[in-house]
Structure 1
Amino acid sequence: MTQRDRDRIAAGLADGLAYAEIARRLDRPTSTITREVARNGGPAGYRPQQAHQATIQRARRGTPAPPRAATPLGGMEEELIEMAVGAGMPRMTARVHLDLVLSEDGRRTAAELTRRLKVSPASVSVAVNYLVQQGFVRRERDPQRRRDIYVVDDDAWYHSIVISERQTLETARATMAAAETYGLDSPVGQRLAKTGAFLERVSLDILESAGRWRALLA
């Protein structure tokens, strides 16, 4: 758990949030937040900087720190996860995605992801559903064992870009429709029309570029 995570826990406690809500905002199990607060002064006495330093001291003494749903990843992989989180992807989703990307054949079952990431099946399910919806991952069915296999292949980035830009195109066209409703000769209508035209043009350019360079993924 990072210093920033602990600062957010403290802010949540100050706002009177329940542990479950704090955990949801940090994309962590509720039990992790409960243990973190209990080990570091309780709800009334929790201080993020002191909690962070205490964890460092425990680690130096060889005392296990409050468990985090750890991955078998190194520093570079953790940095990639932080970059994905910074771009708006939920942390658990980023961890699942990266584990798939770094697998030998780009394939994992839900049970494998649960075991490797040491998280609940429900957490994996939520993450995978997001990845499938965004085109980063696809599902394949194992007919013999009646289970889903989650696959990230070389074409995944193309599909994710196409899905994203089609969503932006829908937004652009809805914006232009709103501009007509307000009237293209009104200030609001003109502003909306310019925004819609910009989004539409950029999205079409990106879709064209993605199709032109798709062969690089083959």
Structure 2
Amino acid sequence: MNEVLHSNIQEGIRHYYDDLDFKNILDFVQQKFSCCGGDEYRDWGVNQYHWCNSSGPLACGVPHTCCIRKAPGEVVNTLCGYRTLEKERLELLGTIHVRGCIHAVGLWLKDNFEATLGIVCSLLLPQVVGLVMAWLYWQKLNDIYSKLDTVDFRILELRDFSFGAVDLSGAGWCWCLPREGGYIPVSPREEEEEEQEEGNG
């Protein structure tokens, strides 16, 4: 699981300055959880602007959201992470956060298990309720459709219902009334009579 997260975060870091949404999320996480990168601060080496062989001011450094603030509300030094990727962890303890965000967020989730469970349940419960309601609604529609689609012609016969009383003049040459045992057939004689009537008309 950590490897998948690390791979995804590295891919996001690679496009950090091109994907504004990911940039804002990662900046928030790095500041909120006092972390830097995915697995560690050296993950920033995959970004072309932070390569150590680059020539820009960000070369071999990390974003300012990785930096340790001495006092709350102080003016942010955007180059506080300059040339940090070429230094060892112990040299950076007072400068940037060397812990990766995967570990920082994982520890927070473990320490706040009840809050995490509550958040997960609050997100999943509406989805589950929606699925159950949709399934019940679908079952109800099927029941209604089955009742409307089923006609018991034996009951119609008991009520002295006659198929001959039905006006089928607009139905063309075929009687398509379903009944027990199949559809009502049209005899050749009836078909010839209808053709003669149409010829005389």
TM range (shorter): under 0.3
> Which structure's relative contact order is higher, taking Cα pairs within 8 Å and 6+ residues apart?
2
Q: Determine which structure has more spread, i.e. the larger CA radius of gyration.
A: 2
TM-score (norm 1): 0.25
TM-score (norm 2): 0.27
Higher helix share: 1
